[in-house]
Amino acid sequence: MRNAKNLLFSSFIYALTALMVFVLVFVIFFIVREALPLFREVPLSDFLLGQRWMPIGYVGNPAYGIGNFILGTLLVSAVAMLFSVIVGVGTALYLACVASDRQRSLLYPFIDLLAGIPSVVYGFIGLVIIVKFFLKLGHPSGVSVLAAAILLSVMILPFLVSSISDTLRKLYMAHLPSSNALGVEPWHATAHVILPLAGKSILLSSILAISRAMGETMAVMMVMGNANLFPTLLGKGETIASLIALEMGTAEVGSTHYHALFAAGLILMLLLLIINTAINAIQKKVLG
């Protein structure tokens, strides 16, 4: 009886795990499979570097170039990361070097609230606050890469803060006693010992934050203007994720347009995969 129960339980665990792993592998396989037919019609270089995206050839031939979308994705994520790092490192410093245990135990879950807010709510607040603000300043439409980057920087802040503050806290606990013993003022030690030591891992966390930002869809789509333009800070732009979200509903299954959207999704996945793999490799090498 007990043996039967045990066997039943372990079979259940194995079966469910195997099923889930199969599904996950299948998802990846499926996306790749649906993407590949595009490259029979459109050369990879045209797809990646082309600036014309004209899936339905009303005038002239259809064109499938996602160059601007790739650049838009990278630009908005990188700018968002820059903003987020400035505030994120400062916040992490406060959490690691100033906050008492009690403060920390309240502030961490408080900051994590940011990660729980749905991205449409971010998009909505971006529209009514940031876009309105840009309009007031005289920007013609208010929607822009910069507006999206500001919004995105708030969305990735909790991930940056939690990973950087972990590193800073460890360094602070390890080095402060010896620095105090030398009579060095703690903030001096923070500025000259702890921050420089944390530099590499702050850099890694920042790149990881970019990869988080790149997958974000809704909020960015709502404030970035969605136009196939070469992205500039104050101009409109469009990301790969927005492209898929905006056009999937209208693409005929099996059409070149449809395969192109899958290919765009695949490129986004590959970008994320390259960044994440590189970070893992560097982390193993540099941080041990």
Q: Which is nearer to another protein, 71 or 241 (CB)?
A: 241
Q: Which is nearer to another protein, 157 or 224 (CB)?
A: 157
Residue 24 binding another protein, by CB under 8 A: yes
Among the listed residues 202, 258, 260, 263, the single contact to another protein using CB under 8 A: 258
Crossing angle between the packed helical segments 145-181 and 101-116, to the nearest 10 degrees: 160
Residue 12 binding another protein, by CB under 8 A: yes
Question: Which positions ≥6 away from 228 have C-beta within 8 Å?
Answer: 51, 52, 53, 68, 69, 238
Residue 202 binding another protein, by CB under 8 A: no
Among the listed residues 75, 209, 261, 263, the single contact to another protein using CB under 8 A: 261
**Beta-strand (E) ranges in 5-123?**
53-54, 63-64
| Number of other CB atoms surrounding residue 155 within 10 Å | 23
Phi-psi region at 94: left, alpha or beta (left = phi > 0; alpha = psi -120 to 50) = alpha
Count residues binding another protein (CB under 8 A). 86
Least separation in angstroms between CB 248 and another protein: 5
Beta bridge partners of 225: 237
Residue 78 binding another protein, by CB under 8 A: no
Question: Is 164 in contact with 198 (CB distance < 8 Å)?
Answer: yes
Among the listed residues 89, 146, 152, 210, the single contact to another protein using CB under 8 A: 89
Residue 75 binding another protein, by CB under 8 A: no
Q: Rounded distance, CA 216 to CA 123, Å?
A: 11
The DSSP output letter for 236 is -
Q: Report CA torsion sign: 77, 82, 87, 88.
A: positive
For residues 137 to 176, the per-residue mask of contacts with another protein, x marking binding by CB under 8 A and - elsewhere, is -----------------x--x---x---------------
Among the listed residues 57, 60, 109, 199, the single contact to another protein using CB under 8 A: 109
Residue 74 binding another protein, by CB under 8 A: no
Least separation in angstroms between CB 191 and another protein: 4
| Number of other CB atoms surrounding residue 9 within 10 Å | 10
Residue 120 binding another protein, by CB under 8 A: yes
* SS3 category, 224: coil
Which among 172-180, 199-207, 224-232, 256-264 is the span making contact with another protein, rule CB under 8 A? Answer: 256-264
In the chain, the amino acid numbered 150 is: I
Among the listed residues 70, 111, 149, 171, the single contact to another protein using CB under 8 A: 111
